[in-house]
């Protein structure tokens, strides 16, 4: 019988989190190349860590939902979920229903708003 110690599980979880964060960073570089290049690797890593924390605080657990949340951060700002000038963002995030549906709807609304406002949304 194998015994897996907590320290071993913690090490595995840390490695998985690092791989996950790296995958997210790669995706952000692909979708937001100029923004990511301008901020550099350390700031990108910090921004992704912040986004992961905030996305999880809102109930996001699936990679696709966390990616949506990060895209919203890059479009609207790192603290869009608490920004008083974006009350509609908070309304979507706190509405009832699955987080996946709420983030999908929020992405659609945010892109439409960005296009209406300045036309340079991706």
Q: What is the pLDDT of residues 61-76, one digit of tens each?
A: 999 999 999 999 999 9
Which tens digits make up the pLDDT trace of 92-104? 999 999 999 999 9
Q: What is the pLDDT of residues 20-57, one digit of tens each?
A: 889 999 999 999 999 999 999 999 999 999 999 999 99
Nearest to 78 by CA among 117, 23, 14, 28: 28
What is the per-residue pLDDT for 119?
Answer: 54
In order of 9, 64, 118, 120, the CA distances from 54 in angstroms are 24, 15, 26, 25
H/E stretch holding 73 reads: helix 63-76
Q: Residue 61 — φ and ψ, nearest 5°?
A: -130, -30
- Please state whether 94 falls in left (phi above 0), alpha (psi between -120 and 50) or beta: alpha
- The residue extents of the domains of the chain are 9-117
């Amino acid at each position: 019988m194998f015994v897996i110690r907590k320290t071993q599980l913690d090490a595995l979880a840390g490695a998985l989190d690092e791989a996950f964060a790296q995958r997210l960073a790669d995706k952000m570089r692909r979708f937001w190349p100029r923004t990511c290049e301008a901020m550099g690797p350390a700031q990108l890593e910090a921004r992704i860590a912040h986004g992961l924390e905030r996305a999880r605080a809102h109930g996001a657990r699936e990679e696709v939902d966390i990616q949506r949340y990060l895209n919203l951060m890059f479009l609207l700002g790192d603290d869009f979920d608490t920004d008083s000038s974006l009350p509609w963002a908070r309304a979507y995030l706190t509405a009832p229903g699955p987080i996946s549906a709420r983030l999908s709807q929020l992405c659609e609304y945010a892109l439409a708003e960005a296009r209406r406002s300045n036309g340079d949304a991706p």
